[in-house]
Amino acid sequence: MSSPSHWLALPTNLVLGNEEIHVWRARLDLPPESLSRMRGVLAQDEQARADRFHFDRDRNHFVACRGILRELLGSYLSRNPTSLQFSYGTFGKPALHFEDPSQSIRFNVAHSNGLALLAFACGREIGVDLESIRADFAGDEIAQRYFSKEELEELRALPEAMRTEGFFECWTRKEGYIKARGLGLQIPLQSFSVSLTPGQPETLQSEDASCWTLRSIDVSPGFAGAVVVEGRNWRPHFWDWTPSVTIQNERAKQA
């Protein structure tokens, strides 16, 4: 069973070690001046994508999340956030387009109901998922459609009061694994299993389970989160992003 996630204030100097992963928690309902700053670092295609959202709230959340991602990547790499270019895998997983192959930072992002998780690692693939816990969504019919036989049995064995939480533990862990591998729904959802009993150790059963480490994240009341990381023996760090604090990185300012 993983220990609670301890969310720390923003560091003054941001360094991502090879044996670390960093997970950031960010609120996406930003004040107008912060939202304007975030839009200003987006590329033209990202701004166009934002403008296609019908609802202001969805548009603003996209701008905030993408802007925060660019600011954090810029700090890690000592680059101007506006200079970063993204490429996308066959199934849509984003990555940084690098002229220098030695810059091997990997990242993944998830957001739900105004809250975001942004996860970063060096030289290892990573996937993160976040869901707002909704009792009306966590039904047996959906579980039958998306969960494996083993997951269904474990879910149905839970006391009724724990089933909604167990459902979302399962959902976020499965999504984190799929996103880490970057293959989308080319991976049949019933071809692998995760544990889902709240408070019990996280496990993954798949043909490549030895290649990955799964951990649930204690995000905030009313949310479930999980991160899946390639390899073993990495140390997690949990940071809180706020619009009022700036990471001090002079090289990034000058790049």
Query: Residue 151 is part of a domain; what is its CATH number?
Result: 3.90.470.20
The parent domain of residue 218 ranges over: 131-230
Percent of all residues in the chain with a pLDDT value above 90, rounded to a whole number: 78
How many domains does the chain fold into?
2
Residue 245: pLDDT band with limits 50, 70, 90 = low
Cα separation, 146 vs 175, whole angstroms? 11
67-124 pLDDT tens trace? 999 999 999 999 999 999 998 888 788 888 765 555 589 999 999 999 999 999 999 9
251 within domain boundaries: no
Whether 65 and 136 map to the same domain: the answer is no
Whether 117 and 28 map to the same domain: the answer is yes
Whether 239 and 211 map to the same domain: the answer is no
Helix (H, G, I), strand (E, B) or coil at 226: strand
> Residue 165 phi/psi, 5° resolution?
-65, -45
Q: Report the predicted TM-score, pTM, of the whole model to 2 decimal places.
A: 0.92
Strands 86-88 and 94-96: antiparallel
172-197 pLDDT tens trace? 999 999 999 998 888 999 999 999 99
Whether 14 and 115 map to the same domain: the answer is yes
Single-letter amino acid, residue 42: L
Q: Does the structure show a pLDDT above 50 at 253? A: no
Whether 100 and 135 map to the same domain: the answer is no
